[in-house]
Amino acid sequence: MLQYVIRRLLYSAVVLVLASFLVFMFVTVSGDPLAALKITPNVSEETVQNIIERKHLDEPVPVRYYEWVKDALTNKFGTTLLTDEPILPDLWRVMKNTLQLVLVAELLAILIAVGIGVYSALRQYSVFDYSMTTFSFLGLATPVFWLALMLQVAVVQIYLATGRNVFPIANLNSVDPGEGLSFVIDRAHHLVLPVIVLMVANIATYSRYMRASMLEVVNSDYVRTARAKGLAESRVTMKHAFRNALIPLVTLVALNFGTLLGGVVVTETVFSLDGMGLYFVNALGTNDPYPVMAWLMITATMIIIFNLVADITYGLLDPRVRYD
Amino acid sequence: MRKRSLLPLIGVVAIVASLVVGPAATAGPEVAKAGTVVFIHDQEPPNLNNDLVGNGLYATSLVMNRILESGAYYNAQARLVPVLLTGLPKLIKTRPLTAELEYKANAVWSDGRPITGADFRTAWRTYINPAHNVRSRTGWEDIQRVNVKGKKATVIFKKTYAPWQELLSASPLPTHKVQGQNYNQLWLNSIDVSSGAWRFQSWQKGVQLTVVKNPRFKALPTMKLDRVVFRYILDTNARFQALKSGEGQVMEPQAQLQIADFRNDSNFEVQSLAGFSYEHVDIQFGPQGHAALKQPYIRQALITGMNRAQISGALYGTIAGRLPVLNSLIFKTFENGYTPHFSAWKFNQAKVISILKGKGCTGGPDRPSAGNNSIFSCPGVGRLSFRFATTTGNQLRALTFEIIQRQLKSVGIELLPRFQVAGTLFGTTLPSGDWDLLMFTWVQSPASKITSKDIYSCGGELNYMKYCNRKATKLMDATAQELNPAKRQTMLNQANALMAKDIPSIPMFVRPEFLIRNKKVTGPKANPTLTGDTWNAHVWTTK
Amino acid sequence: MAQPILEIRDLTVEFDTEDGVVRAVTGVSYDLAPGEVLGIVGESGSGKSVSMLSVLGLIPKPPGRIPSGHATFEGEDLLTMSSSRLRDLRGGRIAMIFQDPMTSLNPVLTIGDQISEAILVHNSGTSDDDARKRTVELLELVGVPFAERRVDQYPHEFSGGMRQRAMIAMAIANDPAVLIADEPTTALDVTIQAQIVEVLKAAQRETHAAIVLITHDLGLVAELADRVVVMYAGRVVELADVFTIFNEPRHPYTIGLMNSLARLDADLDRLEPIPGQPPSLITPPPGCAFHPRCAISQGRAICRTEVPPLKAVGVQEAPHDSACHFADELANLGAARAGTAS
């Protein structure tokens, strides 16, 4: 197992380096970060020169890449191009915000989806099953930005009708969130709508997966054996059916989670949440490769780690799978 | 089984319910303490030092202009009025250009130190320091020397700098805070001093920036509010929703159709006024532009074929009422001295056809018609099919283009869309000259006209059209050296008259600026200049 | 017969499907004596497994249902007792071994875990340690080498034969009175089959359980069974002790089965299958379900109109029932034919 992990990490390192070079090249050649400056009247020539020297903008791309690597390793990913501000503090801040949002959304989605999937499978073709199937299709078909906007509009309409602000519709916290517990509650309050939006698509996917997996297991021979042994139905379902049915879902969740940590751009934009997705989009918009690369490195590492976690977990849960 | 798998579901419902019941039970609308106004904005400052490159944004000036207050600023009528200065800077001598300024006796920094002439000199020294990544040194580098005495400063220029009065009205910088510091790293995330109505309190990046009353500010009446909170909401729709639901009280929206909602809502007041930004269509005279555009009659046909009034009505009718068409490339419609030289070109479709036919163009329609598909070809220049470039992703610009395209197609002129991302359009395309018609906005200030030469003179720094009229150039170059405002006005209008004949660029309309305030807040008044809509924040009150 | 341990009377099992109602088992009756091995033979779809599964409550209802019948075990009717009482018996007094041991064992739990589970479910006072000890004993009993070590292995680490041994161990863990073996050797290769037969014999010696051996392998029946029930299209068509079934079959279907066997003691150029296809259980042929394929029906009307009842064709010391209108005509046929069989 250890050998397997090490080998995977080595391959991943190669992938990471390759990805970093490609992305750096694309961002660099896609546009001139000084474009806006150059056509703005009265911009000081000396200042523009300073920037060009500081960020080696007159050098060819491979040299600039090398400079970036140096900066990334020795100077915590370096500083932004125009304003020369350190990147890492901002990145940590947005990372934490995204983590909060995504973690809560995923956990809730899993809990609900597993419940729905199991119950649907056990009560196949019932009213519950059909309505959950419909809900899943709707959830998958609904565009995220539309759902987010509809929720905001709904909340505002409620406010206009009753004077009650049931949920805040933007940002991470209110003007005076308070300290300690009050801050936490305020933050949770602000995350309710974004979490709902994120959950919908995930619940739809996960519950379908869970249902399919559960159906397959529930009709299997070993479940019949378990019943034949005289086990109570609840025990049969939980110990024999449910645990086995959960395995493919665990893999899916682990893989999905890695990607989510790169940020959920649309949700973050509509709700103005200070997260990784928004950070990336803004950085890209300024054609500044440094923050984009920093974001990429973190996101790629997360994805690689979680891919590995998915594989290892699968191996742990299913003894038929062995890694050498 | 059934019970076991329902348990998590119940747990989840409980969590969600507690989140709803708990806070909702105690919260009203999101306005916090009394004496606070929440100002919603669409962009967060990258840092607080507005002089550095990468900054210079309106978003930053909204906050910082009342922390590092100006000597004088443009009020809502676009007149320069003294704030920290006793009066507008005075001209002492013209050769060399020498002027004098004096700060008010009660002008002090928030830590009690008085604001003196030395603080103006500090500003000058800071800006011309080559190690500082200052955005613009224009004007400052023309200063030879600054002599200070107490509250007074005497500024001597190396060469004539026409907008000197605006320059000398700039904010003084606190000598005791700036001296010896690396300006590139100063005041990035916080600032502990203030000369204006408020001082910085806290900045929660990605969410909000809070400023509180500066009780030591006496140059104007002290701020009435306790606090102003700038909340940054990036999504357009979310901003409007937030305003509606009371999560913010004041907002400056871009021209969006949602504004119409608020005009009809008695809880809100919508102010709209013409600003200093204007939309225009530049015409390319250079070798990479369409050959036809070098012919005056073609340019005349273009402007005669565009119904500019219809366009502004279509764009802004529901949200700002009727806007006057702009008929000068130098003055704005509301400015003293505005002379509509371009109004000579009245919209007349039949006239377009007769102009073109008169010059021997063939292949086009005999009469203007909406369904027309035949395009004119003119002798020596070919088919009248022009590339029309503008920014992509802008609803209003897309609409504008559609209307123009339709109008010109009816008279046998074809426009081909070349929409590009702003970065590419302004960074590569515009400077390269490889375009035919390009539509964009100049964002200007009251003093911009003084340097019209940058845009319209032969070889001007911003003359991307490669337009060259010697007479107009002479007039505009002289303007930049002329210190007498009345003389400047005359010369500029002469230049404008010449350009109205040449038509290097088609002025469309002045873009309206909007300010929406929740009627719970009194005081906010839209300011068309870059002073920003917080110019009179010291008189704002809230219920 | 001494008091039977299991009495099945008039059992009918139906399934609702999209194509109609499938009558998997119709009016089936037979007894199981304590300690005997009863073989139930028939083709796929004859209802031999379904009759046992339904009696134990292991068929899904819906779509299945049992409109009529009794299954009396030690005085209680399995079909009407409470589900908790039935669960008590299942895996305890009545245990079942299934056909494919690879899919019949939970792949993510150890063998030991699954066997111990069977023990713990029916003996709630037992400690985990004791259950484990007993599990190891059982594995040794069924012939799993290095049982102490292998008890912690997973099903995929066992070979096919070993897995079936483990299943048998699981079934006999609680000293059942009835052991139902549903095609226990079908999924195994021939050499392993022989081993499993030995294990079953050992299991019976150990527990003195009655075994219901459901199979289509006549060789297995010949080796293990005391009595044989022949089923066709959901009904019992013949019922007798094993010698009689092989030497004097009195139903055309049974005769057809015997004739189709490959034999060591005869020189055959071709095997003789029973002509035709198994009947549809949704719309079975009217009258005797076997008549379209029957050699002796010869188109007689009664075969097409009346379902032949299961009636005695033997003597009291050697009970022999057959469901054929013309069973008498078959009396000498079987004897002559089976002359050299042992």
Smallest Cβ distance to A175: which of B36, B233, B427? B36
pTM: 0.80
Smallest Cβ distance to B1: which of A43, A166, A237? A237
Place of tokens 């194509």: C19
CA–CA separation, B483 and B460 (whole Å) = 21
Angle of CA points B391, B396, B402, to nearest 5°: 85
Position B194 scores a pLDDT of 95
Domains, chain C, ordered by start = 6-225 (3.40.50.300), 230-337 (no CATH)
Search chain A and give the residue with CA nearest B421. Answer: A285
For B31, phi and psi rounded to 5 degrees? Answer: -70, 130
Position B24 scores a pLDDT of 41
Bridge partners of B81, per DSSP, are B73
* Pair B189, B132: CB distance under 8 Å: no
Q: Is B180 helix (H, G, I), strand (E, B) or coil?
A: coil
Q: Model confidence over C282-301: pLDDT tens digits?
A: 888 888 989 888 888 888 88
Residues of chain A contacting C90 with CB distance shorter than 8 Å: 227-230
Write out the two tokens for A189: 């309050």
- When scoring B26, B37, B53, B444 by the number of chain A Cβ atoms within 10 A, the one with the most, hence best to mutate, is B53
Search chain A and give the residue with CA nearest C169. Answer: A229
Q: Model confidence over A240-249: pLDDT tens digits?
A: 999 899 889 9
| Interface contact A115-B38, CB threshold 8 A | no
Distance of CA B137 to the CA centre of its chain: 20
For strands C20-32 and C37-41, give the pairing: unpaired
Helix axes B308-320, B395-409, angle to 10 degrees: 150
| Interface confidence (ipTM) of the complex | 0.85
| Interface contact C90-A320, CB threshold 8 A | no
| Interface contact B6-A119, CB threshold 8 A | yes
Chains touching B, CB cut-off 8 Å, 3+ pairs: A
Position B16 scores a pLDDT of 53
Write out the two tokens for B61: 């000036």
Distance of CA A289 to the CA centre of its chain: 22
- CATH number for the B9-193+520-542 domain, one of 3.30.70.890, 3.90.76.10, 3.40.50.1000, 3.40.50.2300? 3.90.76.10
- Judged by a CB distance cut-off of 8 A, whether residue C52 touches chain A is no
Who wins on pLDDT, A285 or B282? Answer: B282
| Interface contact A231-C117, CB threshold 8 A | yes
Smallest Cβ distance to A221: which of C88, C100, C154? C100
Q: Model confidence over C209-265: pLDDT tens digits?
A: 999 999 988 888 998 999 999 999 999 999 999 998 888 888 999 988 888 887 777
Position C334: which residue type? G
A89-317: which CATH topology?
A: MetI-like fold (1.10.3720)
Q: Which residues have CB under 8 Å from A238's CB, separation 6+? A: B1, B4
Give the count of beta carbons closer than 10 Å to the beta carbon of residue A11: 11
| Interface contact A83-B23, CB threshold 8 A | no
Domain ranges of chain A: 2-74, 89-317
Write out the two tokens for B437: 């018609």
Write out the two tokens for C35: 């300690």
Position B321 scores a pLDDT of 77
Q: Model confidence over C53-87: pLDDT tens digits?
A: 999 989 888 788 999 999 999 889 999 999 889 99
Average pLDDT, chain A: 88
| pLDDT tens, residue order, chain B (543 aa) | 344 445 555 555 555 554 444 444 334 444 445 589 999 998 899 899 999 888 888 899 999 999 999 999 999 888 899 999 999 999 999 889 999 999 999 999 999 999 999 999 999 999 999 889 888 888 999 999 999 999 999 999 999 998 899 999 999 999 999 998 999 999 999 999 999 999 999 999 989 999 999 999 999 998 999 999 999 998 888 999 999 998 999 999 988 878 888 998 999 999 988 888 899 999 999 999 999 999 999 999 999 999 999 998 888 888 887 778 899 999 998 888 899 999 999 999 999 999 999 999 999 899 999 899 999 999 999 999 999 999 987 888 899 999 999 999 999 999 999 998 877 788 788 988 999 999 998 888 888 888 888 899 999 888 999 999 999 999 999 998 888 889 999 999 999 999 999 999 999 988 888 999 999 999 999 998 888 899 999 999 998
Smallest Cβ distance to B30: which of A42, A44, A174? A174
CA nearest neighbour of A119 among A104, A107, A135, A103: A135
Give the count of beta carbons closer than 10 Å to the beta carbon of residue B220: 17
Position C1 scores a pLDDT of 63
Average pLDDT, chain C: 88
Helices assigned H by DSSP within chain C: 48-55, 83-89, 101-104, 111-122, 128-141, 147-150, 160-172, 190-207, 218-224, 242-247, 252-259, 301-305, 331-337
Position A93 scores a pLDDT of 92
CA–CA separation, B114 and C198 (whole Å) = 108
Residue C47: pLDDT band (50, 70, 90) is: confident
Domain ranges of chain B: 9-193+520-542, 275-512
Position B515: which residue type? L
Position B5 scores a pLDDT of 45
Intra-chain end-to-end CA distance of chain C, in Å: 25
Question: What's the gap in Å between the CA of C93 and the closest CA on chain A?
Answer: 10
CA nearest neighbour of B278 among B460, B76, B528, B495: B528
- Judged by a CB distance cut-off of 8 A, whether residue A162 touches chain B is no
Question: What's the gap in Å between the CA of C88 and the closest CA on chain A?
Answer: 6
Q: What is the CA radius of gyration of chain A?
A: 24
Question: What's the gap in Å between the CA of A183 and the closest CA on chain B?
Answer: 11
Q: Model confidence over A181-192: pLDDT tens digits?
A: 999 999 999 999
Q: Which residues have CB under 8 Å from C298's CB, separation 6+? A: none
Position C332 scores a pLDDT of 65
CA–CA separation, A171 and B4 (whole Å) = 37
Residue C101: pLDDT band (50, 70, 90) is: confident
Place of tokens 């032949």: C308
Cα torsion angle, A231, A233, A235, A241, sign: positive
Write out the two tokens for B244: 């509606």
- When scoring A213, A218, A225 by the number of chain C Cβ atoms within 10 A, the one with the most, hence best to mutate, is A225
Question: What's the gap in Å between the CA of C1 and the closest CA on chain A?
Answer: 28
Dmax of chain B from CA atoms? 96
| Interface contact A319-C154, CB threshold 8 A | yes
Bridge partners of A117, per DSSP, are none
Residues of chain A contacting B12 with CB distance shorter than 8 Å: 108, 111-112
Position B19 scores a pLDDT of 47
CA–CA separation, B324 and B466 (whole Å) = 29
What is the 3 state secondary structure string of B459-478? Answer: CCCCCCCCCCCHHHHHHHHH
Position A317 scores a pLDDT of 85
Smallest Cβ distance to A229: which of C121, C154, C156? C121
User: Counting one residue from A and one from C, how many pairs have CB atoms under 8 Å apart?
Assistant: 70
Question: What's the gap in Å between the CA of C152 and the closest CA on chain A?
Answer: 12
- Judged by a CB distance cut-off of 8 A, whether residue C133 touches chain A is no
Residues of chain A contacting C92 with CB distance shorter than 8 Å: 230
* Pair B277, B333: CB distance under 8 Å: no
- Judged by a CB distance cut-off of 8 A, whether residue B34 touches chain A is no
| Interface contact C107-A222, CB threshold 8 A | yes
Residue A5 pLDDT greater than 90, yes or no: no
| Interface contact B232-A171, CB threshold 8 A | yes
Q: What is the DSSP string of A31-94?
A: --TTHHHHHSTT--HHHHHHHHHHTTTTS-HHHHHHHHHHHHHHTTT-B-TTT--BSHHHHHHH
Residue C192 pLDDT greater than 50, yes or no: yes
Q: What is the CA radius of gyration of chain B?
A: 27
- Judged by a CB distance cut-off of 8 A, whether residue A154 touches chain C is no
Interval C169-191 mean pLDDT: 90
- Judged by a CB distance cut-off of 8 A, whether residue A250 touches chain C is no
Give the count of beta carbons closer than 10 Å to the beta carbon of residue A7: 12
- Judged by a CB distance cut-off of 8 A, whether residue B222 touches chain A is no
* Pair B304, B352: CB distance under 8 Å: yes
Position A273 scores a pLDDT of 92
Q: What percent of chain A has pLDDT over 70?
A: 99
Put simply, the chain A residues between 122 and 141 with a CB less than 8 A from any chain B CB are 122
CA–CA separation, B366 and B91 (whole Å) = 61
- Judged by a CB distance cut-off of 8 A, whether residue B267 touches chain A is no
Position A314 scores a pLDDT of 87
Q: Is B204 helix (H, G, I), strand (E, B) or coil?
A: strand
Q: Architecture of domain B275-512 in CATH?
A: Roll (3.10)
Residues of chain A contacting B428 with CB distance shorter than 8 Å: 32, 35
Who wins on pLDDT, B136 or A206? Answer: A206
Smallest Cβ distance to A230: which of C100, C103, C121? C121
For strands B268-283 and C235-241, give the pairing: unpaired
Q: What is the DSSP string of B300-336?
A: HHHHHT--HHHHHHHHHHHHH---PBP--SSS-TTST
CA–CA separation, B537 and B250 (whole Å) = 11
CA–CA separation, C220 and C239 (whole Å) = 17
Task: Please tell me whether the peptide bond between A248 and the residue prior to it is cis, using omega within 30 degrees of 0.
Answer: no
For A103, phi and psi rounded to 5 degrees? Answer: -60, -50
CA nearest neighbour of B443 among B510, B380, B499: B510
